[in-house]
Amino acid sequence: MKKLSIVIPVYNEEKTIAKLVDRVKKADSLGMEKEIIAVDDGSKDRSLSMLEGISGIRIVKHPQNRGKGAAIRTGLKVTTGDIVLIQDADFEYDPADYPFLLKPILGNQADVVYGSRLISNQPRRVLNFHHYLANILITFLSNCFTNLNLSDIETGYKVFRREVVEFLLPKLVSDRFGIEVELTARVAKGKWRVYEVGISYSGRTYEEGKKINWKDGIAAVWHVIRFNVFG
């Protein structure tokens, strides 16, 4: 495997996007060439202009905000790498964890790797208990349907072999945060080999720019049923 594609969905991340891309460029990809694809999802701040000032990346634009799921789907469509990694545009997830995420695929153990915030011995910022509880409940409900024993389906770090991306793309429909549940449901139905690895996590508060809210948590319950029962 020679190329790693990194898809970065971006929406109003002017405070972090330039430094994040710099970290991605410097991250250890275990010898693979990096293809960095930033999908600006109709940002209303300076995110797009900042991206346009960064060399060595590909930028895809949504004229209007459509949601994280739509940005991920757009990004996946233009990837060309042997392995595809989804990277949030903030600093909640550290590109220094790439080697942990890539090794199970490069070692031919896994087709899909999730970076779990809950099974890790890496530093993890302590924040809102209610968010943690919601994630536990959504993950538990998802596991009941998929028969996977994942610990963290809402993680922003998900990594796929090229074959898995080709399998998923025609099926994906989520526009918002339901993409996390949908990806998990469709991976389970594909009988792909799934691994989890522990990662560090530096979560944000709403004042610092966090976007997911309680409405997305309620919607996630419906998405679990929708994508596991109705396809």
**Quick count: other Cβ atoms within 10 Å of Cβ 87?**
26
pLDDT value for 61: 97
User: What's 51's domain CATH number?
Assistant: 3.90.550.10
Positive or negative, the CA dihedral 220, 134, 85, 145 is negative
DSSP string, 78-104: H---SEEEE--SSSSS-GGGHHHHHHH
Q: Residue 110: left (phi > 0), alpha (psi -120 to 50), or beta? A: beta
Domain with 19, as residue range(s), is 3-229
> How many domains does the chain fold into?
1
**Quick count: other Cβ atoms within 10 Å of Cβ 138?**
23
Summarised one tens digit per residue, pLDDT across range 128-176 is 787 888 889 999 999 999 999 999 999 999 999 999 999 999 999 999 9
Instruction: Please tell me the distance from the alpha carbon of residue 226 to that of residue 141, in angstroms, as a whole number.
Output: 12
Summarised one tens digit per residue, pLDDT across range 68-124 is 999 999 999 999 999 999 999 988 999 999 999 999 999 999 999 999 999 977 877
Contact 158, 104 (CB under 8 A): no
**Averaged pLDDT for residues 13-29:** 96
Higher pLDDT, 65 or 206: 65
Task: Note the helical H segments in the chain.
Answer: 17-26, 47-52, 68-78, 98-106, 129-146, 162-168, 179-189, 214-229
* Percent share of the chain, pLDDT over 70: 95
